[in-house]
Structure 1
């Protein structure tokens, strides 16, 4: 099975096409409200060929650099966000990339680390024009390409996409309705590993939210139709050809650079509902736990984390931060490194992959992220987010297999003093609406 995954992936590389480098995206429309004259924003620290800069229709601009790694594939760096009314870009991330895709099969016979052992980065697929509607497909030079004679692949899409309502408010005068349609900058690639194809998608919204998703598609492995023992699902006619169930445990590796500083603090919030008492209904109290040491964190009802800037504040004087918004997950308990939903580790350049880390980090240095949580003081956090999906195949998974998504979001918390897309008429409504009436 391992040989099949590698040989199949390398065979598919023959389809990779050569192309010339494409240009950048066209800027979106100007913001609806007039903005003060501003000095030109500093360009990200990369050449034009590796720079992404997009002004969305609502006036928000995202800027970042990109590069491509042999194992992780696409890496985004120097990511900043500039909504309308902000005089300069707000730095969010130093770097963001996949940290691992771990795929254990339910029968225990096969288990894969797709990034570090099975050629994820080498398997960048060329994108047809219709796969990047309204956008630009850029050429990527792939390190350790399947076909070393043809390493250039038109495989990076940058485009924009409408996402529906950014907000809606029924005003109290003459039925005035305030509403705005939101839009996202989308950056994505497709990487092939064996029979699977992974769409790695990054969405940068005009309200400052970042959505990170991986979609698995392609085909079920034909070598894994042997699970008639309660570890699979019958595919095809009758109760036969059982496709083996398996998990996709996807890790993301994030290094924050809020307001230009790698130093930040991590906070955990938990809310607890108490029963009704007397004339008062149930109450809910939220408590803060400062995360001062490395942490292997587990999601619970009404629990969340945020990464807080040590240097920057919004116009209300509140520290800027980004909240980690967990997506649906099926946590895999079979390995120690997949038993937690989020890891906060002190930054170590050598710790690049959540499992089977291939770098030589020194004698005895462990290979998996759970072993990196060893009590160090947390001043420069690396954030590892683990989202699992247990794939019990179905008839509809053939052929080809529909995309099944897994991911999470980073939501701005106090990055701006108000909704960054606030209409001009409501610009003074900061604080208690209506002045407390």
Structure 2
């Protein structure tokens, strides 16, 4: 699994000493440009607000361009700032995010003996791994200066940017002309690999040509050879015999998203719930209601519920407010800690609230975890915290090496453009309540 962290620490003695000193001082150091500050819509520029070395721009073959800045934080690892999306037909980039980053990886073990906050407590950032060329097929590997890393060689070739096909973006057989319309979707990927103990975490940001952004963390690496002493019900037998051995545990991954739709941080949060009625009716009916989330809140996913972040500064060509829908991924919610009891949190922006648990140097009186920050403030600059859990009960197939197991979620454009951004030109007239042409 990934105990034997002491052995891992001995392999990185110098880095650990520096990181512990920084933690004690309540510091989060970083490499790369300073984080882009929230800007108004009028100030939003076409190019990301960073130097060329830290600027990423990728135009996909389907016509969509993604732009952003990158930097490397001494605790969170890779941070993406000033993220914008420009599909074909749009004359300028559409700002989506001020910043996107991991907010914590919390790992409690089933036997109660071990519990870790990997980002703020166990040198996640300092464990950046060098990538081999084959790990970034068709892409570019960038060099990263790791804060508090190896003082003799702090630069690690550890950031991959590449493109990848994802299969069908759409398929439609036209009922009138019998013409087939289909397109293969393209994604732009940005990712790193960080080692913590026996685990290697793959932090992946996937930017699709249809405007969707998917955030994933994949855990791989090795099962710890030291971790073979778990009792029945708290582990799983690995290898010969029936003795329970490898200790089960949870990975509770948090992401922190700072939206800036159309260049403004003054976004609105809305929750939608649908109710299905069957009593006394021949055919069930469904009605959807909207609730404006105006104050800080914790939320939980359930059937027929979803949220969106709505732009206060821009509309699409149909006159509809742009928004991004939050699409949670598969999760196993961990009830053992107050901050993991909910699937997502909406908090008011605070510059020192950066990690969902064990937050170093938190603002006076605000507490050390995200649940303590939900205290009734009005949301004028909302921050989204998403919590996705995975309960890892090991299996024989996890050795050796361990196959990647993924957890994550997406944000999907809702009314960002007036039509599908990949719409073929000869279908562009079919917007709204269209009628067949004679």
Query: Structure 1 length normalisation: TM-score?
Result: 0.90
Which residue is 2:101 aligned to?
97
Q: CA deviation at 1:172?
A: 1.7
Q: CA deviation at 1:9?
A: 5.0
2:185 to 174, 182, 189: 182
User: 1: distance between equivalents of 2:392 and 2:128?
Assistant: 23
Q: CA deviation at 1:367?
A: 0.1
Which residue is 1:313 aligned to?
315
Which residue is 1:382 aligned to?
383
2:297 to 295, 298, 321: 295
Q: CA deviation at 1:382?
A: 0.7
Q: 1:197 to 1:13 in 2, by over 3 A?
A: farther
Q: 1:337 to 1:379 in 2, by over 3 A?
A: same
What RMSD over aligned residues (CA atoms) do the two structures have, in Å? 1.8
Which residue is 2:69 aligned to?
65
Q: CA deviation at 1:240?
A: 2.4
Aligned residues: 408
User: 1: distance between equivalents of 2:195 and 2:435?
Assistant: 55
3-state SS of paired residue (1:237)? coil
Q: CA deviation at 1:5?
A: 1.1
1:126 to 107, 126, 130: 130
User: 2: distance between equivalents of 1:434 and 1:12?
Assistant: 67
User: 1: distance between equivalents of 2:229 and 2:266?
Assistant: 50
Which residue is 1:217 aligned to?
220
Which residue is 1:5 aligned to?
5
Q: CA deviation at 1:307?
A: 0.5
**1:86 equivalenced with 2:87 (yes/no):** no
Q: CA deviation at 1:359?
A: 1.6
User: 2: distance between equivalents of 1:365 and 1:422?
Assistant: 47
Query: Structure 2 length normalisation: TM-score?
Result: 0.90
Q: Deviations over 1:159-206 (max 9, x none)?
A: 000001111111023421111111000000000000000000000000
Q: 1:133 to 1:92 in 2, by over 3 A?
A: same
User: 1: distance between equivalents of 2:2 and 2:50?
Assistant: 38
Counterparts of 1:183-198 in structure 2, within 5 Å, are: 183-198=186-201
2:170 to 164, 167, 188: 167
Which residue is 1:417 aligned to?
418
3-state SS of paired residue (2:119)? helix
User: 1: distance between equivalents of 2:92 and 2:178?
Assistant: 36
Q: CA deviation at 1:229?
A: 2.3
Q: 1:355 to 1:222 in 2, by over 3 A?
A: same
User: 1: distance between equivalents of 2:9 and 2:406?
Assistant: 21
User: 2: distance between equivalents of 1:417 and 1:353?
Assistant: 36
User: 2: distance between equivalents of 1:140 and 1:132?
Assistant: 15
3-state SS of paired residue (2:400)? coil
User: 1: distance between equivalents of 2:186 and 2:47?
Assistant: 22
3-state SS of paired residue (2:215)? strand
Q: Where in structure 2 are there 5+ consecutive unaligned residues?
A: 15-44
3-state SS of paired residue (2:123)? coil
Which residue is 1:397 aligned to?
398
Which residue is 1:236 aligned to?
239
Q: 1:314 to 1:10 in 2, by over 3 A?
A: farther
Q: CA deviation at 1:277?
A: 3.8
Which residue is 1:17 aligned to?
none
1:50 to 54, 62, 72: 54
Counterparts of 1:267-278 in structure 2, within 5 Å, are: 267-275=270-278, 277-278=280-281
Counterparts of 1:290-369 in structure 2, within 5 Å, are: 290-362=292-364, 364-369=365-370
3-state SS of paired residue (1:419)? coil
User: 2: distance between equivalents of 1:383 and 1:223?
Assistant: 38
Greater than 3 Å deviation, 4+ residue runs: 1-4
**1:77 equivalenced with 2:77 (yes/no):** no
Which residue is 2:34 aligned to?
none
3-state SS of paired residue (1:434)? coil
Larger deviation, residues 43-52 vs 102-111: 43-52
User: 2: distance between equivalents of 1:4 and 1:181?
Assistant: 44
Q: Deviations over 1:84-132 (max 9, x none)?
A: 0000000000000000000000000000000000000010000000000
2:116 to 109, 112, 116: 112
3-state SS of paired residue (1:122)? helix
User: 1: distance between equivalents of 2:200 and 2:296?
Assistant: 34
3-state SS of paired residue (2:227)? coil
User: 2: distance between equivalents of 1:324 and 1:193?
Assistant: 29
2:143 to 139, 143, 146: 139
Larger deviation, residues 256-265 vs 42-51: 42-51
Q: Where in structure 1 are there 5+ consecutive unaligned residues?
A: 15-40
Question: Does the Cα contact within 8 Å between 2:56 and 2:67 map onto a contact in 1?
Answer: yes
User: 1: distance between equivalents of 2:307 and 2:6?
Assistant: 38
**1:251 equivalenced with 2:246 (yes/no):** no
